[in-house]
Amino acid sequence: MKAGSLYQGGGFVFASEIGTPLEPSNIDRRSLKLLLKKAGLPDIRFHDLRHTCATILLSQGVSPKFVQELLGHADIKLTLGTYSHFLPSMGDQTANAMESALG
């Protein structure tokens, strides 16, 4: 409304002030870097948030097929090969699942 006739709504969840796609480098420089610094967190790339999200979801037992679809990967091999890092908790989850299944 503020942009008036300049607004070019494209249905984006996150958009510029005039409704156009956000420029990735601007997200990093103008937003993410400042927020990370303010929170005292390490300097990471915006894309690293995607990687972290996928790794956390997989480590919490979310279906790899769901994570694949969430990320928009055409092939589950890409999802699993890129994001399913071995985490110590995954071994515990596997042992607990077997214990539960076998009684």
CA–CA separation, 70 vs 3, rounded Å?
32
Report the pLDDT averaged over residues 7-33.
81
What the block records as the tokens of 51 is: 């990687």
Instruction: Show the 3-state SS of 34-67.
Output: HHHHHHCCCCCCHHHHHHHHHHHHHHCCCCHHHH
Please tell me the predicted confidence (pLDDT) of residue 56.
87
| pLDDT value at 95 more than 80 | yes
- Average confidence score pLDDT of the chain: 84
What the block records as the tokens of 95 is: 């042992």
Please tell me the predicted confidence (pLDDT) of residue 67.
92
How long, in residues, is the chain? 103
Report the pLDDT averaged over residues 49-63.
86
φ, ψ dihedrals at 44, nearest 5°: -130, 165
